[in-house]
Amino acid sequence: MNFDQYPTYSGNDLGMNWTAQQSVFKLWSPAAEGARLHLYNNGEKGKPSQTISLQKDNNGVWSTTLPGNVKGQYYTVQIQHKGQWLLESPDPYAKAVGVNGKRAMIIDLNETNPDGWANDIRPPLKQFSDVILYELHVRDLSAHPNSGIKNTGKFLAFTEYGTKNAKGLPTGLDHIKSLGVTHVHLLPAFDYRYTSVDETRLNQPQFNWGYDPENYNVPEGSYSTNPYDGAVRIKEMKQAIKTLHSNGLRVVLDVVYNHTGATNESVFNRCVPGYYYRQNPDGSFSNASACGNETASERAMMRQFIVESVKYWAKEYHIDGFRFDLMGIHDIETMNQVSDALYAIDPTIFIYGEGWTAGASPLPDSLKAIKAHTHQLRRIAAFSDDFRDALKGSVFNHTEKGFVSGRTGQEESIKFGIVGAIKHPQVDYSKVNYSKAPWTKEPYQAISYAECHDNHTLWDRLLLSNPEASEEDRIKMYHLALSMVFTSQGVPFIQAGMEMLRTKGGAENSFDAPDEVNRIDWDRKTKYASTVDFTQKLIQLRKNHPAFRLGTADLVRRHLKFLEAKEPQMIAYQLGFNAGNDPWTKILVIHNGNSEMKFFELPKGNWKVVKGIRSILGTKVNVPAISTMILVE
């Protein structure tokens, strides 16, 4: 049967639904010739305590009801396909699993709620342009011996107060809160493949970013204090989220619906062979993810799975945002349905993703949720690689310089980033590095960044592209990049540790490198205290002055005016915005990427330099080398 001819099921009760009186199991598998449920007393090893045949219902669903309270048992499903019984697995909709995600668990989710969970609320957020993102791997926060955090590598690390580094400076939660960011973006925290991190060997060194999904609706067990009990990881993740919320921090989940960690042996493929994936004309799995497969979001039940999954995380775990890995693999319609479903739950849930693929896909380009189609996406943002590479050079050419490190000709790409990739009359799109047209409707749809977990950290990159530069000059370049990210109209994004010149020792792809490479080195907070302070002040500047986060494209076009800079490697613009209670009604921003001081002719007015608020006499100002100068009238 053609996959498009498979019957679909519109209910939202697939998987296991528990009550104290009975548990109902439903599996969607239209091509199955038979299906059965295996019950186990634990999450690994041993034979089934019971095997039950599932009954075929309508719309490709197989089901059974177990009377009584069977809470605490584990289960798998197994289908017969083309005369063969396939390997058993959890069902795709599993909400709890045992160690390494091999078996699902029958659970009362209410028992996983920490004290006060019913009263947990999202921190306030007025508009998406107020968002400030902080990208962090769960383990990296606490893995350094001088983190001062007891729950090394665990969700519970986010619940510890008063932690300090060797010199007594705040680390962990207290540090993040002091920075002033609004959202903590967690790298994949769902259950990922045991081949990446084996939850039965947590006493041995292991690390992985986690971009190889196994069970999408379950937290990762290695981040819990007991991966053998399916309830523990759920409760501890909720404790982390509740603590972050109570400290004014929203939580973003990095989701990877575009591919699975395994292909033939994935949960999807064991339950409905082939259906959840795209195929090439010869029947082989297509691979736009460069990970062995890509999911078929345009198929009804895959689309429904993605939508139901994000709704589940938003409701059950109070997640405040979602970052979509390789969002370009998904189709536009699916992403818009995701947005609509989350908007109905809470209109302040923020969605963004990578607007590209990692390889060719059978899905037509016109249907892909790629960066160029962001204007077709409802309330969804995309990463601006235009801005990123204009700042520091192409991520594919490690020695190439960018605006901050001495490369000329990047001015229009930088201006494009400053306005948030919107249509602006003063941007020459023919000179923008990658995009020859605006791709956002609103500025918040562009994520402004200079580094993320992928590729080199900015600090390592500046050493590669400017090996002859002194550390002092590279810090100036670094500060200039930070200044440009935080004063642009897009949503600013930094990788955790960027505020202390994070290094990975030159590693470009540290997805499975050891803790020594990936962890946040809290001693650098002491060594580079000036950059920590600089980052805090930039974040406070953005939060204090609404002109840096205008919110709509119309406001940006009306209130942001680029001024002529007679020197190359200089960009200047004026923000004329009266926010009522902000005394800064006219702001002038000048970025100087040159390695020497440059003069800039000021527009008429009584201008003062913000740092120290000193008055400028005359019509010119000297802008120091490799720096940002902000003036107010």
Phi-psi region of 222 (alpha: psi -120 to 50; beta: other; left: phi over 0): alpha
Lookup result for tokens 């990208």: 135
Helix (H, G, I), strand (E, B) or coil at 621: strand
The answer, yes or no, to whether residue 619 has pLDDT greater than 90, is no
Structure tokens at 373: 């189609």
The answer, yes or no, to whether residue 614 has pLDDT greater than 90, is no
Query: What pLDDT does residue 388 have?
Result: 98
Q: Residue range 137-166: average pLDDT?
A: 98
pLDDT tens per residue across span 101-129: 999 999 999 999 999 999 999 999 999 99
Query: What pLDDT does residue 295 have?
Result: 98
Q: Residue range 62-76: average pLDDT?
A: 97
Strand partners, 222: none
User: To which CATH superfamily is domain 3-112 assigned?
Assistant: Immunoglobulins (2.60.40.10)
Task: Compute CA distances 136 → 127, 133, 176, 472, 584, whole Å.
Answer: 23, 10, 10, 27, 33
Query: What pLDDT does residue 557 have?
Result: 98
Q: Looking at per-residue confidence, does 577 or 155 come out higher?
A: 155
Structure tokens at 513: 């490198």
User: Residue 630: which H helix or E strand, with range?
Assistant: strand 627-632
Q: Residue range 374-398: average pLDDT?
A: 98
Q: Residue range 213-230: average pLDDT?
A: 98
Residue 577: which pLDDT band, with cuts at 50, 70 and 90? confident
CA atoms within 13 A on the CB side of 23: 19
Task: Compute CA distances 219 → 77, 227, 386, 448, whole Å.
Answer: 20, 10, 34, 29
| Predicted TM-score (pTM) above 0.85 | yes
Give percent of the chain above pLDDT 90.
97
User: CA angle, corner 327, sides to 245 and 358, nearest 5?
Assistant: 130
* Given the residues 325, 389, 412, 521, the one annotated as active site: 325
Helix (H, G, I), strand (E, B) or coil at 509: coil
Helix (H, G, I), strand (E, B) or coil at 528: coil
Compute the distance between CA of residue 609 and CA of residue 588 in angstroms, rounded to an integer. Answer: 9
Q: Phi, psi at residue 312, to the nearest 5°? A: -60, -45
Structure tokens at 147: 């983190």
Residue 613: which pLDDT band, with cuts at 50, 70 and 90? low
Domains 3-112 and 560-632 alike in fold? yes
Q: Are 95 and 47 contacting, i.e. CB atoms less than 8 angstroms apart?
A: no
Lookup result for tokens 């010149």: 501
Structure tokens at 163: 């932690």
pLDDT tens per residue across span 285-342: 999 999 999 999 999 999 999 999 999 999 999 999 999 999 999 999 999 999 999 9
Compute the distance between CA of residue 153 and CA of residue 239 in angstroms, rounded to an integer. Answer: 15
Q: Residue range 373-398: average pLDDT?
A: 98
Integer-rounded Cα Rg, in Å, for the chain is 26
pLDDT tens per residue across span 528-569: 999 999 999 999 999 999 999 999 999 999 999 999 998 999
pLDDT tens per residue across span 399-454: 999 999 999 999 999 999 999 999 999 999 999 999 999 999 999 999 999 999 99
- The CATH number of 560-632 is 2.60.40.1180
The answer, yes or no, to whether residue 256 has pLDDT greater than 80, is yes
The answer, yes or no, to whether residue 611 has pLDDT greater than 90, is no
Q: Are 550 and 577 contacting, i.e. CB atoms less than 8 angstroms apart?
A: yes
Residue 507: which pLDDT band, with cuts at 50, 70 and 90? very high
CA atoms within 13 A on the CB side of 599: 4
Query: What pLDDT does residue 581 have?
Result: 85
User: Residue 344: which H helix or E strand, with range?
Assistant: helix 332-345
User: To the nearest whole number, what is the mean pLDDT of the chain?
Assistant: 97
User: CA angle, corner 614, sides to 611 and 617, nearest 5?
Assistant: 135
* Domain edges within the chain: 3-112, 560-632
Query: What pLDDT does residue 621 have?
Result: 94
The answer, yes or no, to whether residue 200 has pLDDT greater than 90, is yes
Structure tokens at 541: 């500047």
Contacts of 115 (CB under 8 A, 6+ apart): none
Structure tokens at 400: 């190439």
Kindly tell me the sign of the dihedral angle through the C-alpha atoms of 202, 173, 118, 217. negative
185 Cα distance to chain centroid = 5
User: CA angle, corner 492, sides to 374 and 592, nearest 5?
Assistant: 110
Compute the distance between CA of residue 4 and CA of residue 274 in angstroms, rounded to an integer. Answer: 12
The answer, yes or no, to whether residue 1 has pLDDT greater than 70, is no
- Classify burial at 212, counting beta carbons within 10 Å of its beta carbon; exposed 0-12, middle 13-18, buried 19 or more: buried
Helix axes 458-465, 471-486, angle to 10 degrees: 130
Q: Residue range 372-385: average pLDDT?
A: 98
Query: What pLDDT does residue 616 have?
Result: 75
325 noted as active-site residue: yes
Query: What pLDDT does residue 580 have?
Result: 76
Compute the distance between CA of residue 141 and CA of residue 157 in angstroms, rounded to an integer. Answer: 8
- Number of other CB atoms surrounding residue 552 within 10 Å: 16
The answer, yes or no, to whether residue 617 has pLDDT greater than 80, is no
Residue 579: which pLDDT band, with cuts at 50, 70 and 90? confident
Residue 43: which pLDDT band, with cuts at 50, 70 and 90? very high
596 noted as active-site residue: no
* Given the residues 130, 294, 354, 386, the one annotated as active site: 354
Residue (of 218, 225, 229) closest to 253 by Cα position: 218
